[in-house]
Chain A
Amino acid sequence: MENKETYWSENLRLIFICLAIWFAVSFGLGLLLVEPLNEIRLGGYKLGFWFAQQGSIYSFLALIFWYGVKMNKLDKKYQAEG
């Protein structure tokens, strides 16, 4: 395949976006901002608590699948898959 460099840099950009969200939902919303978020309620859940014990896990799942879909498209675009 050609354009190995651009394929790799597009991949790196995707990873960077995903890991930024990964950090934000767990360390950000679940830990660092937990106190102000706990003022908001989601049913019986305090929102910060919900992110720490539920929301972060759902977000991780969405991230992995989204990354997989994007990478499959990238592989096709660059004919990276053999």
Chain B
Amino acid sequence: MEELKLYTYIAVFGTFALYFGIAWWARAGSTSDFYVAGGGISPMQNGMAIGADWMSAASFISMAGMIAFMGYGGSVFLMGWTGGYVLLAMLLAPYMRKHGKFTVPEFIFDRYYSKTARIVAVVCLIIASLTYIIGQMKGVGVAFSRFLEVDYGLGLGIGMAVVWVYAVLGGMKGITYTQIAQYVVMIFAYTIPAVFISLQLTGNPIPQLGLGSTLADGSGVYLLDKLDMVVTDLGFKEYTTSSLGGTLNMFAYTMSLMIGTAGLPHVIMRFFTVPSVKAARSSAGYALIFIGLLYTVAPAVGAMARLNLMNTIEPTAGENLVYDERPQWFKDWEQTGLLKFEDKNGDGKIQYSADKVTNEMVTVDNDIMVLANPAIANLPNWVIALVAAGGLAAALSTAAGLLLAISSSISHDLMKGVLTPDLSEKNELLAGRIVMTIAILVSGYLGLHPPGFAAGTVALAFGLAASSIFPALMMGIFSKKMSGTAAVSGMIAGIGVTMLYVFQHKGIMFIPGTSFLGDMGPNWFFGISPNAFGAVGALVNFAVAFVLLKVTGPAPDHIQDMVENMRIPGDVSAAHVH
């Protein structure tokens, strides 16, 4: 245990030192450095930074765990969170890069010639980003408290301080280069344990192939067939076919995540950092290579972790693990409350089944599947230490990107754009840094005292991005006649419908007891869960906008000319202020 702690300290503080070094080397000197890294990042570097920016604590820690327990149903996350990059590469990124501004609300302001549009976009952006950060801060606190056994609050404080140093100092430039380092840490931390486990279980070191291979125990049975058998024996749904609330719900869920991904401002912003339209297109491709590396390993991690967990508890059918002989990792995770055993029949053995009455594994949290995986598979201590550093890299890199999105929308869009247009560049830079500091403090506070709605907020973030930002951007580029009034009305209608649906099932502002329709299948519109409703909101947005376009008449000529100009790569200078 002492050795593990030592390794963990080395891994965590070694990587922190690296991030500080990079931050010092890549300090921001101008607003262009601060918002778009001077516009000189290469597509491959940008792809890596997008990967780190995009892959949050949820991707790193939670996703494989969700897949482990949902099986086939977990595919919505895999397809949804990668398919959005196709939309970004073809529908948004190249044209928005050509237009050459710093922020997403600024693009919306230019295109829809309306301050209301800009403010609506800023509000959506801040709600979506802040809710997202809470999750990252919680991830930082959990990683510290579990792996270094420091207090959750102290861990959170250290995380906040680290992000503050490199995000406030370096702005987009510092964030980009630290994100590249964080991507490398994260991907090693994710794939090394997966390679070991795949090798142990199937003899194939490549997890993507191991998942489709036979087991190494000489039985000649395919891993997935074995898993299907083990889980169905205990009454769980078959792993490879278990749906997530039916085909329509999975369809809407996947679509919402895809267009939500394409509409998340902190991801779109990263495309403003490359030097050309061509580079914006290829950035999306590189980003998906780096993201895909983790996302194609995740299903293997999920399935193998589930199988290992089952095998630990019931090594051979009918022979259950004696509770007093449980392994060390079991005890460690019991202390966190994420794993809980209750000896219901008093036989001192662990029974794990789908039947709520007899099941004795009363809590098995999704999140422990990735974090405990190396220990469950008896991997060496340095691998466990690496996982801790990887989880922190995932949480910190995403938090930094989100903080930048928030601070730029306030200092550049609200202050410079609407409230105090004569702000000098130097003061705007200072304002950006102050806003970012405040944003760190607010998100740290929210991480320490997570509001009751924290769990439901991912739905809100993706719902907002999918139902308001994505349609507005897409129509702005592909329909040159789309008018400001029509687009803004569409955005508000889209958000309205989505929020109403989420709130009516999950409570107004997620306050328990204020939902006027229960959060359960029979009450859902055609069985679509609140998390999956963003796609419907987007449809409403498009419909309202196109109907109102007939009423308001087309956008003025100079706006249509601007859109035509956006569609042609032309000569692109670095993103500029005006």
Contact = CB atoms under 8 A, between A and B. Distances in A.
A63 B91 CA distance: 13
Interface string A13-42: 001001100100011001110100010001
B432 interface: no
B251 A75 contact: no
Contacts of B225: 44
Interface string B546-578: 000000000000000000100111111000000
A44 B224 contact: yes
B213 interface: yes
Interface string B78-95: 110011011001110010
B493 interface: no
A56 B222 contact: no
B222 A57 contact: no
Interface in B311-346: none
B212 A43 contact: yes
B479 interface: no
Contacts of B569: 75, 80-82
A60 B86 contact: yes
A67 B240 contact: no
Contacts of A8: 567-568
Contacts of B211: 44-45
A67 B281 CA distance: 8
Interface residues of B, number: 51
Given A7-B568, A31-B247, A57-B296, A50 B288 contact: no
Interface string B54-87: 0000000000000100001011001100110110
Contact of B90 (A18, A57, A75): A18
> Which among B85, B86, B208, B240 has the greatest number of chain A C-beta atoms within 10 A?
B86
A61 B568 contact: no
Given A60-B86, A65-B285, A67-B281, A43 B222 contact: yes
* Chain A, interface SS category: helix
Contact of B240 (A19, A38, A57): A38
B224 A31 contact: no
B289 A61 contact: yes
A53 B278 CA distance: 30
Interface string B196-210: 000000000000110
Contact of A81 (B78, B299, B570): B570
A30 B281 CA distance: 26
Contacts of A22: 83, 86
B284 interface: yes
Contacts of B282: 65, 68
Given A1-B568, A44-B214, A52-B72, A26 B90 contact: no
A58 B292 contact: yes
Interface string A48-73: 01101110111011011101100110
B250 interface: yes
B241 interface: yes
A26 B79 contact: yes
A81 to B, nearest CB: 5
Interface residues of A, number: 42
B468 interface: no
B254 interface: yes
A54 B296 contact: yes
B34 interface: no
A61 B288 contact: yes
A7 B295 CA distance: 35
A12 B225 CA distance: 44
B223 interface: yes
A64 B570 contact: no
A19 B474 CA distance: 14
B240 A61 contact: no
B223 A30 contact: no
A44 B82 contact: no
A49 B79 CA distance: 12
B229 to A, nearest CB: 13
> Which among B74, B79, B567 has the greatest number of chain A C-beta atoms within 10 A?
B79
Contacts of B281: 64, 67-68, 71
Contacts of B213: 43-44
Contact of B254 (A7, A19, A31, A38): A31
Contacts of B288: 57, 60-61, 64
B284 A57 contact: no
B475 to A, nearest CB: 15
A52 B211 CA distance: 14
A34 B78 CA distance: 15
A57 B461 CA distance: 23
Nearest to B276: A81
A77 interface: no
A31 B251 contact: yes
A52 B285 CA distance: 20
Contacts of A53: 67, 72, 74-75, 78, 299
Interface string B279-305: 001101100110010011001000000
A80 B72 contact: no
B91 A61 contact: no
A30 B277 CA distance: 32
B559 to A, nearest CB: 16
Given A60-B83, A64-B89, A68-B89, A44 B212 contact: yes
Interface of A: 1, 4, 7-8, 11, 15, 18-19, 22, 26-27, 30-32, 34, 38, 42-46, 49-50, 52-54, 56-58, 60-61, 63-65, 67-68, 71-72, 75, 80-82
27 contacts: A15-B90, A15-B91, A18-B90, A27-B251, A27-B254, A30-B75, A30-B79, A32-B251, A38-B240, A45-B224, A49-B240, A52-B78, A53-B74, A53-B75, A53-B299, A56-B83, A57-B288, A57-B292, A60-B85, A60-B288, A60-B292, A61-B292, A64-B284, A67-B90, A68-B278, A81-B276, A82-B570
Given A54-B296, A67-B281, 12 more contacts: A27-B255, A42-B212, A44-B224, A49-B240, A56-B78, A60-B82, A67-B90, A71-B281, A80-B568, A80-B570, A81-B571, A82-B570
